[in-house]
Structures are given as C-alpha cells and as structure tokens.
Amino acid sequence: MPPTTGLSRRFSVAPMMDWTTPHFRYLARLLSRHTLLYTEMVTTGALIHGDTQRFLRHDPAEYPLALQLGGSHAGELAQCAKLAEQFGFDEVNLNVGCPSDRVQNNMIGACLMGHPDKVAEGVSAMIDATNLPVTVKHRIGINGRESWDELCEFVEKVAAAGCRTFIVHARIAILEGLSPKENRDIPPLKYDWVYRLKQTYPDLEIIINGGIKTFDECHDHLQHTDGVMLGREAYHNPWLLAGVDPEFFGERAPVQTRHEALRAMIPFIESELERGVFLTHISRHLLGLFHGIPGGRQFRRYISENAHKRGAGIEVIQAALEKVREHENPAIAEA
C-alpha cells in the first residue's frame, strides 16, 4: 500500500503506549479522515528481534499513520525505518521524549536530548534508508540541559541531519525522581519556547504538544506553529475528533453521531473477535466515546461489567449502545 498523499500534520493524535493501539486508531479514523495518527512506541529491539508482524500490525483504514520508534542505534533505526516503509506507514517518528527509567537504560527516549549527535546520526541513517518523512518528537529539555541554547543545539544538529519536522512537548522531562505520568504534568508548560523555535527556524515544521484540550486552544497555537498534537484529551474524549475535519480542513465530518461511528466499527470488532482478540482489549478504547453526555456513564458501566466475561462478543457493544439515546447532533465536538 503506497503512503497516503497529502498527509497533513495540522492536527494529530499523540503516540501513547497501551492507548493508541490499532483498536483506538480505528475508532479515531472513523471520526476524522485528516487527523494524523501515531502508533504506540515500538523499540527497535522489539521490531528486529521480536514478532515484527505483530508490532507493525495495523489496518489500511488507519492511514495516514506514523510509526513511532524508540531506539538510538543508527543501524537498527535504519533497519526499522525500512520496515515502516515496507509495511505501508506514512511517516516514521523517533521518540526523544519518553522519560521512563526502563527506556533510559537502553538510551531510548528523553535521555537522548543529552546526546544530540547520536540523535542526528540515527536520523541521518533513517533518512538514507527510507523515502518516508522522518520526524522527531522531543521535549524542550531535560534536567541539567534545559537552556534555550541547548534546545537550539539539539534542533540544529538534528535538522542538519535532514529532519524537517519537530514535534515538541512543551515541557522538560526530569529524568530522576518523577514517574512518566508525573513528567507529563509537573514540569511547567512553556508554549512560548515552542513558538520561539518556529520564529527562529521558520523553515522547519514545528508541531506543538502538551496540555492542549480545546479547539480554541488549537487555533491559538496554530497562529504560532504549524500543527497541534493532542494526547490525553483525544483519548478520553474521542468525539472531539469528529470536529477536526470541519474545524481544520473545511470538510464535512465523516460521521454525524457517536452511534453512527460505533455502528461503523462493528464489522471490524467482529473480525477482530474472530481472530481471537478478547473483547476487553477492544472495548476499553471505546469507553470515552460517550464522555459527558446523558447515558454515557451507563454505556461505560455496561461495558466494564460485561466485556471481560468469558465468551463476551459483539452483543455487549450493541447492548451498551442501547443505553444511550441517539442524538442527531452535528459532529461539532463538545470539547
């Protein structure tokens, strides 16, 4: 399958381990045609030595789709970038933002912000290995390396290696003492640093990430940057995505109601169940769909109480759907 043409990074959903699984992405794509989706991070070690097919598994319906890699060895990154292209992804992204200890030990994630030459070497090897766009997702710094000049040094070295697109989580990562979750909340957001990167390097594509919740906020950020990436809000309130095509791409939303979206997902869920996937592995990513509307709580409760039962099948989703009245609301997100 050739890469999708006309990929836009104006609006994207962040890579999130255990959250942006193929099942969540399928739902997200039913809600918006234009949102760029990212996989969970896959380490180069897992791809090369593990079950490659399983880690790269996705449905063509998910395109445009970027594969996020975790790693730092140039040869391995190149090999994995090639795999990304062979498997039909539209972009390959390098994770330089994840602060977990587990990944730091292997020189993966945010700790690489302290090694800009190594990142540049990896990016250059990836670019040589593939025709796909190679992008980098990073923080504005790490503890001990949090000056503006150090951020510029990082961006300049990686840009000199050929990277044109930087997705910037607008806070530093603190590599000792904070959990990954705390590292997504405690270091203060500095959106002005991301704006300043765009001013300093106008030829680079700069995408802003971190703490963005509403379309009004997105529009404000888009005054200063090339795109917005939303993580937690898009996951907890996926209906937001139904507003993206009208709001940012001047197109009608692909579905008009949440019911329509979920009904459109039923054949996919059925085929996943036939493959032996447990219903809970799929249904846990649907729980946010009726977030904040009457009946939403009953929908979630019904799924939580029934999807894990032995032999649970599509009837659980259908019964849960009946707990919520279908509103013919226009697909404008209630953010």
Ligand X SMILES: Cc1cc2nc3c(=O)[nH]c(=O)nc-3n(C[C@H](O)[C@H](O)[C@H](O)COP(=O)(O)O)c2cc1C
Provide, rounded to whole angstroms, the least separation between the CB of residue 45 and ligand X: 15
Provide, rounded to whole angstroms, the least separation between the CB of residue 88 and ligand X: 20
Axis-axis angle for helices 314-321, 296-306 (nearest 10): 160
Q: Does 99 bind ligand X (CB under 6 A)?
A: no
Active site residue 98: yes
The tokens describing 48, both together, are 């090369």
Q: Does 230 bind ligand X (CB under 6 A)?
A: yes
Q: Does 97 bind ligand X (CB under 6 A)?
A: yes
Provide, rounded to whole angstroms, the least separation between the CB of residue 306 and ligand X: 25
Nearest residue (CB) to ligand X, 163 versus 321: 163
Q: Under DSSP, is residue 310 helix (H, G, I), strand (E, B) or coil?
A: coil
- Which of 73-96 are b and which e, b meaning 16 or more Cβ less than 10 Å from the residue's Cβ? bbebbbbbbebbbebbbbbbbbbb
Catalytic annotation, pick one of 98, 111, 163, 218: 98
Stretch touching ligand X by CB under 6 A, among 24-32, 95-103, 249-257, 314-322 = 95-103
CA distance linking residue 25 with residue 310, whole number of Å: 25
CA angle 211, 216, 217 (to 5 degrees): 25
Q: Does 284 bind ligand X (CB under 6 A)?
A: no
CA distance linking residue 205 with residue 256, whole number of Å: 32
* Residues between 155 and 214 that touch ligand X (CB under 6 A): 169, 184, 209-212
Provide, rounded to whole angstroms, the least separation between the CB of residue 264 and ligand X: 26
Binding site for ligand X (CB under 6 A): 14-17, 19, 40-41, 68, 95, 97-98, 137, 169, 184, 209-212, 230-233
Active site residues: 98
